[in-house]
Structure 1
Amino acid sequence: MYDSAQLRSMHQARFGVDPAIFVAPGRVNIIGEHTDYAEGFVMPAAIDFATLAAISPRTDGKVVIYSQNFDEQSEFDAAALPAERRDHWSDYPLGVMAILAGEGHKIPALSLTLWGDVPVASGLSSSAAIEVSTAIAVLSLIGAEYPMPVLARLCQRSENEFVGSSCGIMDQFISANAAEDHALLLDCRDLSFKLAPIPENVALVIANTMVKHAVTGGEYTSRRAQVEEAAAVIARHRPEVHFLRDANLDDLAKYGSEMSSLALKRARHVITENTRTVAAAEALINHDLKELGRLMAEAHVSYSKDFEASCEEADAMVELAQDLPGLIGARLTGGGFGGCTVNLVERQHAREFSAALGQRYAERTGITPQIHICHASGGAHPVQESIQAVR
């Protein structure tokens, strides 16, 4: 859990000024993997892990960014901010500033302190939390404002165009637009969304396999290329198909022989995952938790076998949860290739479930996992807004 008072004191000690503080949450995706960049459907929820951004103005023409997590400070000329990534943690806040500058905003001299407890490279969107918290902090400092869906798109662009990750819109959108105690069914084509209440008796148990992944790596990029290959093949016969959102299983039966075997498998996952995600939202809205659990189980098999984005440890974590008390549904969440599983668990059994799952996983793999009992949090917002003049 974040501590804004501690961050305020840290910023004051380093920069000698009381900052404004903003928070943006990480997220867990309940269902809908690798569908966002196919203009499909996703159903994430924000979680009570977050990034805090403390910001204050400067008078020396510098942009100074301090990361408490890395215990490292970077300084730049505000009038000549880097235009390209440096493969450094500062790429994420700098990318946001670069996109805002491209939108016509002058980035002033500023001090920015970042602190977060979203586990890095675990599929819980630590990068999106940094981007969104930075964006709302900088916009507040310069007196500008965007609707949250637009802000989410700008943050996605920063990760695509500056950081170099081909992520879709989901992570930034849920961080900016989440509602407490709700999942959010997002249509990634037009950014319309529907809230689905999570019952009070349901806990989100997030189990970190401790196997790391990075979405800028080759596996994620190759999966996206295969999805796009499948869409291009179908589009030769059906020009109205620009993304797999517009395709169906009949298309794969007719035209699958014209695409690589891997593209066919990836497309089958994306097409069926879109259907599952819409059905899962309806199940949640209708309090049909048994159906929701069935859809989550089906989604994990598809993600593991057709999309091949799981790993031995993640498959083990899902398998070991199946007969534990209180389980509603379990699957690997996030970009894949490690990271976390999401487990919907009856709240009365959440602690017992977590302890048993951790013990089983450690015995199976020799790895001690991190397991967290979470609830769905609200989206990005200011914590304390007063910005005092610098010394």
Structure 2
Amino acid sequence: PRADRTVRVASLDMGGESTFSLDAVNTDHDQRWANYVRGMASVMQEAGYTLAGVDALIHTTVPVSAGLSSSAALEMAAGRMFEAVAGLAIDPVQLAVFGQRAENNFVGVNCGILDQYTSAVGQAGSALLLDARTITSQNVPLTPDIRVVICDTRTKRELAGSEYGRRRAQCEEGACALTAFYPAITHVRDVSLAQFETHAGELDADVARRCRFIVEENARVAAFATALSAGDRSAMRDLCAASFAGARDLYAITSCEMQVMLAAMLAAPGCIAARQAGAGFGGCMAAFVEAGSETAFAAQVTPAYQAATGIEPHIYPVVASAGAGRVE
């Protein structure tokens, strides 16, 4: 903590330092990573919280620019830091809302709340089935005999930001067009597959493909939650395969490296199911593997992917953990 209203943050991983006053929070055009911290300070103060100055050092083990929500993790860590220094108590869901608002309004990324919510509200040993409309979730227990392994293609995701915005705009266009037939809907999620099929031909072809993916993917998400909690490996594999196919053929967010990685993952020992993670266009993939097979899985995926692409992947066995909090 500091006696004044200055915030000074440095990053071990990104390098550099950023200093700003809580009385005039502006954008840092040089140390762009610091804008996630600045954005949290800005929106928390706009919400009426009185913050205090602080000197902070940031270190992360979350891979950056890999589709693993490193920006949301930084936002939630910054929020908890400001909370602790000022002696506040902020609900995790509210913190997630602040993070999304910071990214939308301060950083300038038109993201949803998924990343911030999972970083703030995560539960040890569980996945979260999130309803972004109500900002509520259900815990989906992970059976102890199934583990999650992240496989980083280590390819840049330059298109992820711009194309994410384009996909979102196309879905909004589709929802708007469908209100002519179903006035009560506000989002593509409100349309059943049968309703969509009836009027898909009246939409722009690309818009129809994007909307079809969302309608089908939402149904797959609900089905996957059931399969995951039950340990139904066959259903998990089929649902993940359909998800990747839709991401490739309808939503058009996959890359050659992602397809190579998928094949390597599915052929590796212990792999139950695999699919894309994040916004696509490279970045990371996620595999569900039998407990105890993580080392053998990685040992086969690494050379297979590297032989096909010339890129050495990074592979991370991960566990579901609690959301952002203080370590005493």
Same fold (TM over 0.5): yes
Matches within 5 A, 1:337-352: 337-352=281-296
Counterpart in the other structure of 2:18: 74
Counterpart in the other structure of 2:29: 86
CA distance in 2, matches of 1:255, 1:153: 34
Change (3 A) 1:216 1:110: farther
Displacement after TM superposition at 1:214 (Å): 5.3
Counterpart in the other structure of 1:218: 162
Change (3 A) 1:61 1:191: closer
Counterpart in the other structure of 2:55: 111
Matches within 5 A, 1:117-196: 117-196=61-140
CA distance in 1, matches of 2:160, 2:87: 33
Check conservation: 1:233, 1:259, Cα contact below 8 A: yes
Q: For residues 322-377 of structure 1, give each alpha carbon's deviation from its aligned partner in whole angstroms, at most 9, with x where no partner exists.
A: 23221110011111111111000012221111110111000011111101112222
Matches within 5 A, 1:1-391: 57-82=1-26, 84=27, 86=29, 88-213=32-157, 217-384=161-328
CA distance in 2, matches of 1:65, 1:348: 40
Q: Which amino acid aligns with 1:332?
A: Q
Q: Which amino acid aligns with 1:201?
A: D
What's the TM-score once normalised by structure 2's chain length? 0.95
Displacement after TM superposition at 1:186 (Å): 1.1
Unpaired runs of at least 5, structure 2 = none
Instruction: Give the % identical residues.
Output: 33
Q: For residues 68-105 of structure 1, give each alpha carbon's deviation from its aligned partner in whole angstroms, at most 9, with x where no partner exists.
A: 112211112232121x4637111110000110111112
CA distance in 1, matches of 2:100, 2:241: 29
Q: Which amino acid aligns with 1:285?
A: S
CA distance in 1, matches of 2:88, 2:5: 20
CA distance in 2, matches of 1:200, 1:214: 36
Displacement after TM superposition at 1:305 (Å): 1.1
CA distance in 2, matches of 1:258, 1:85: 45
Check conservation: 1:66, 1:74, Cα contact below 8 A: yes
Displacement after TM superposition at 1:65 (Å): 1.1
CA distance in 2, matches of 1:284, 1:330: 13
CA distance in 1, matches of 2:255, 2:261: 10
CA distance in 1, matches of 2:53, 2:277: 38
Change (3 A) 1:156 1:214: farther
CA distance in 1, matches of 2:11, 2:141: 35
Matched residue of 1:58: which SS? Answer: coil
Displacement after TM superposition at 1:216 (Å): 6.9
Matched residue of 1:205: which SS? Answer: strand
Q: Which amino acid aligns with 2:260?
A: A
CA distance in 2, matches of 1:213, 1:323: 25
Check conservation: 1:234, 1:251, Cα contact below 8 A: no
Counterpart in the other structure of 1:5: none
Check conservation: 1:209, 1:317, Cα contact below 8 A: yes
CA distance in 1, matches of 2:78, 2:308: 40
Which structure has greater strand proportion? 1
Matched residue of 2:23: which SS? Answer: helix
Matched residue of 1:80: which SS? Answer: coil
The aligned length equals: 327
Matched residue of 1:268: which SS? Answer: helix
CA distance in 1, matches of 2:114, 2:63: 18
Q: Which amino acid aligns with 1:307?
A: Y
Change (3 A) 1:306 1:204: same
Displacement after TM superposition at 1:191 (Å): 2.1
Bigger relative contact order (CA 8 A; separation at least 6): 1
